[in-house]
Amino acid sequence: MPATDTVQQETLIDADPATIFAFLTDADRLVRWMGVAANLDPKPGGLYLVDVTNGDVARGEFKEVVPVSRLAYSFGWEKGDDLKPGGSLVEIDLIPQATGTLVRWRRYCNAAGLCSSTSTQAGRAAWRTPADGSTGSPAA
């Protein structure tokens, strides 16, 4: 995807890749980490739908699913003016480490769906671990 705006975050999480992958692909587990409701069909072409805050709904489509190592899905906000569904691509790589899993999260936005600063900050906040002041993590 040609990118005009790219956001990347890396976080070391004290959990194995399979555990983190399950939190990213199972709706019940995902909402224990972030959001209030989710409908996920983790296969290429499958639905990615997460109600983040009782009305702020993220919608996209899974593009790539490699069990316990990689996910890619389109992303956007149903009610957003600046980032419509399909306006960006999220890639998540799970890289085993001696002390857990390095989660490499990237979002690419194209010219038709530039990432807003609010959306960018929310994406980064979702990946913080208790070590850097947040409460959400699949290991929690």
Q: CATH code at 77?
A: 3.30.530.20
Q: How far is CA 39 from CA 5, 15, 104, 130, 137, in A?
A: 27, 24, 23, 26, 19
Number of domains in the chain: 1
Q: What are phi and psi of 86, to 5 degrees?
A: 85, -5
Give per-residue pLDDT as tens, 77-92: 898 767 888 888 999 9
Q: Does 105 fall in a domain?
A: yes
Domain that holds residue 30: 5-132
Range ranked top by mean pLDDT from 21-25, 50-54, 133-137: 21-25
Q: Does 119 fall in a domain?
A: yes
Q: What is the pLDDT of residue 80?
A: 72
What is the value of pTM for the model shown? 0.79
Burial of 83 (C-beta count, 10 Å sphere; 0-12/13-18/19+): buried
Q: Does 44 fall in a domain?
A: yes
Q: What are phi and psi of 50, to 5 degrees?
A: -135, 120
Per-residue pLDDT band for 51 (boundaries 50, 70, 90) equals very high
Give per-residue pLDDT as tens, 95-115: 999 999 999 999 887 655 456
Q: Does 139 fall in a domain?
A: no
